[in-house]
Structure 1
Amino acid sequence: MLCVTDPLPARPRRIVVAGVSGVGKTTLARRIAEITGIPHTEIDALFHGPDWTPRPAFVDDVRALVARDTWVTEWQYSDARPLLTARADLLVWLDLPFATVTLPRVVARTVRRRLRRERLWNGNVEPPLRTFFTDPEHIVRWSFATRRKYRERIPALRRDLPVVRLRRRRDVERWVAGALTDTVR
């Protein structure tokens, strides 16, 4: 497992960003895409159909994505993870503190999206805030319930795939400005 100061073994062309819901995967994936010039595909846009239903073409779309020479996306969804890791050159793991970083971030994002009625993938909007209490898969509850799963999943991958583990916000900034930027110079 690589840390923030370790150089990357090679210039990555296919990158997945992992972490619990709300940690900032998509934000970091977009930044990586900007710096490297590699196209970013938001995996939520492939997964969510109207009314938050899974799109039937999701797995086929992921297969088409991973067949490309270069891409950056988020490491999510059980059907997609094996396809993504089989072709990825690098996995970046956002393992930020849950209580002080991720939880406030996912709550703020959810409330902001709901109050502004932001249109997300395929016209979806965040459900009413009261669903936090009624929906066991509400994004904030989901983030809390799955917060430890990556600590089980990711260590098993490091045999086959370089993994960069970033544990603090400042580590993210240092890695982006250091190891990642160094690989594209």
Structure 2
Amino acid sequence: MPLLRPLDALPGRPQRILVAGTSGSGKTTLAARIGAALDVPHIEIDGLYHGSGWIPRPSFEDDVERFSAGPRWATEWQYSSVRALLAERADLLVWLDLPRHRVMRQVVRRTVDRSVNRRRLWNGNVEPPLLTIFNDPEHIIRWAWTTHGRSAARVRDLAERRPDLPVVRLRSRAESRRWLLGPLSEAR
């Protein structure tokens, strides 16, 4: 199946939806909006992955196995240990293919807000101090910059493995809104 544009009709009502994109692109926000629009549970995969102190939860893969075996869900397509399983079970992939400058603006704004306000995230975690951007190669801002191009390769590989899987490519917030209000709402 070719890439679908924001106003292309969906081939049916999706039940198991993945949202792909680089860190900071808005995957979680869009997955939650899709879940609400289709009345399917949104499972925030970061909440399953991160335990207290940012330690990966030992039950992560089992938790993903359990929810993804269910008939209806929307989640983010990340974490290499479960990416293939989620892709195998999905019936729609929505790809947030935003330009690097847009992603960086979003991830910097979000990270500064979370860090300055000590906003509690998954399982009580908070963003590390902003200065860790200089010495932590996995700091979310550095991670978003260095991994920005990886989503395109993953989506291409998935399209080859699953030519039956519809992929919607969204390149801006405006396209996301048009898609949510248009083809997705028409698929309900």
Answer yes or no: same fold by TM over 0.5: yes
> Which residue matches 1:59?
61
> Which residue matches 1:17?
19
> Which residue matches 2:48?
46
> Which residue matches 1:175?
179
TM-score (norm 2): 0.96
> Which residue matches 2:35?
33
> Which residue matches 1:75?
77
Query: Which residue identity does 1:161 align to in structure 2?
Result: L
> Which residue matches 1:2?
4
Residue 37 of structure 1 and its aligned partner are, at CA, apart by 0.3
Residue 115 of structure 1 and its aligned partner are, at CA, apart by 0.7
Residue 156 of structure 1 and its aligned partner are, at CA, apart by 2.1
1:27, 1:65 → 2: CA distance?
19
Query: Which residue identity does 1:71 align to in structure 2?
Result: W
- The share of aligned pairs that are identical, in percent, is 56
1:97, 1:149 → 2: CA distance?
13
Q: Gaps (5+ residues) in structure 1?
A: none
Residue 121 of structure 1 and its aligned partner are, at CA, apart by 0.6
Q: Gaps (5+ residues) in structure 2?
A: none
> Which residue matches 1:119?
120
- Deviation track 1:90-109 (CA, whole Å, cap 9, x = no partner) reads 0000001111x110100010
Residue 169 of structure 1 and its aligned partner are, at CA, apart by 1.6
- Deviation track 1:15-56 (CA, whole Å, cap 9, x = no partner) reads 000000001000001111111100101000000011111111
Deviation beyond 6 Å, 4+ runs, structure 1: none
Query: Which residue identity does 1:23 align to in structure 2?
Result: S
Map 1:126-165; keep pairs closer than 5 Å: 126-158=127-159, 159-165=163-169
Corresponding residue SS for 2:95: strand
2:154, 2:41 → 1: CA distance?
26
2:169, 2:47 → 1: CA distance?
25
Residue 66 of structure 1 and its aligned partner are, at CA, apart by 0.6
Corresponding residue SS for 1:109: helix
Corresponding residue SS for 1:80: helix
Residue 160 of structure 1 and its aligned partner are, at CA, apart by 3.9
